[in-house]
Amino acid sequence: MYTIKTYNAIAEEGLKKFDVENYQLNQTDDPDGIVLRSQNLHDMKFSSQLKAIARAGAGTNNIPIQECTEKGIVVFNTPGANANAVKELVLASLLLAVRPIIEGVEWVKTLEGPDIDKKVEAEKKRFVGSELAGKQLGVIGLGSIGAMVANDAYRLGMDVVGYDPYVSVDTAWSISSRVKRVLSIEEVLTTSDYITVHVPLLDSTRAMISAEKLALIKKEAVLLNFARGELVDLDAVISALKNGQLKSYLTDFADERLIEMDNVVVLPHLGASTEEAEINCAKMASKTLKYFLETGNIVHSVNFPTVEMVLNFPLRLAIINRNITNMVAQMSIGLAEYGVNIVNIMNKSRGDYAYTLIDIESIPEEKLMDIVNRIKSVAGILSVRVIKNESIK
């Protein structure tokens, strides 16, 4: 029986993935796994019982990743689960950038008396805009969201260029051949009429849209940021808006410095706020966490490598360790000392850490615990977990 603790409102459709025969929800504060959305875990003390945290969303800034990694806690997110919701909001914002839709709606609300239709016809020239077709959109970051934005912007008649040195093979296959890949962010900035940012917030990407980068932007271009507020140097953006380098800035991240500016549209963090996105994220987070707890397999982790191996044998050891030499050999020696043969093994590393799955035949419980303790005693081993294949008796 596994125990799960949830924070925030996790969609019921996701929580149903945890069958009552094998899972208890919110029955303890010392769970095997956590599912959350925005709950801040930076001040939380994690027990040795906690094995994994699943974030129902893409960003994991509310989770202390390094601390979790050191404790052998696998952190998952749900890449792509809310991509369509964010994509639609970005496309809507592109339309808001070229047509004064909000201003027109607010103006019509001020009209009174008869012949409103005539007043509208007489004054509609005040709200003349332009069209997206034929303009160039530059997409910085071609992950799940960026790729979808690029494809649909092309379908709206835009010329689309994209920059992402780390685009995955799966995403690359999904991007239309009509989207031109460029080799530098500078090429995006200097040639695009509209620029949209879709990269994760890392130390290397914080304030990536800097004063230096903004100086390269095509005169009176439009900047959209629906990824993370900290990706732009906001003071530099404001300066570029004031001096006319930027025509306008549209974002999903509110800041008091932006509220009174006429050439800024600030939305109240609506990116993934659709019923469908919340359900998709909850389903994906729950499914990923359940898959890990029951098989040891890791997918969509932000701190450990992807490791998948079919569970065909009675017992599996899931081992997290520092990525140093001779670790797999020492695990094998620990098993050999007890006369246990390895029938299947997979080891992968990610940075300073590694993850190993070892399948073995059935052995007595006491002997199994001795083996676990033996492996745990090896310097550099962070955690050892036993997974029993209940389909094999």
Q: What is the DSSP string of 247-282?
A: EEEEESS--TTTTT-TTEEE--S-TT-SHHHHHHHH
| pLDDT of amino acid 59 | 83
12 is a catalytic site residue: no
Q: How far is CA 167 from the centre of its chain?
A: 14
Half-sphere exposure of 53 (CA within 13 A, CB side): 32
Three-state secondary structure call for residue 33:
strand
**What span, in angstroms and rounded, lies between the C-alpha atoms of 81 and 86?**
10
**How would you classify the pairing of strands 194-197 and 136-140?**
parallel
Whether 106 is catalytic: no
Q: Would the pTM of this model clear 0.85, i.e. be above it?
A: no
Whole-angstrom distance, CA of residue 105 vs CA of residue 122: 15
Residues 6+ apart with CB under 8 A from 362: 314, 315, 392
**Catalytic status, residue 269:** yes
The enclosing H or E element of 101 equals helix 101-109
Q: How far is residue 222 from each of residues 6, 135, 139, 249, measured CA to CA in Å?
A: 40, 11, 12, 6
DSSP classification of residue 127: G
Which residue type sits at 341? N
- The pLDDT assigned to 200 comes to 87
How many residues in the chain? Answer: 393
Rounded distance between C-alpha atoms, residue 171 and residue 148, angstroms: 9
pLDDT (tens, 9 = 90+) of the chain, 393 residues, equals 999 999 999 999 999 999 999 999 999 999 999 999 999 999 999 999 999 999 999 889 899 999 999 999 999 999 889 999 999 999 999 999 999 999 999 999 999 988 999 999 999 999 999 999 999 999 999 998 999 999 999 999 999 999 998 887 777 778 888 999 999 999 999 999 999 999 988 899 999 999 999 999 999 999 999 999 999 999 999 999 999 999 999 999 999 999 989 999 999 999 988 999 999 999 999 999 999 999 999 999 999 999 999 999 999 999 999 999 999 999 999 999 999 999 999 999 999 999 999 999 999 999 999 999 999 999 999 999 999 998 776
Catalytic entry in 21, 112, 212, 256: 256
Q: Across-strand partners of 347? A: 356
Query: Pick the catalytic residue: 99, 269, 350, 385?
Result: 269
Instruction: Quote the tokens at residue 4.
Output: 């799960």
Pick the catalytic residue from 37, 55, 228, 316.
228
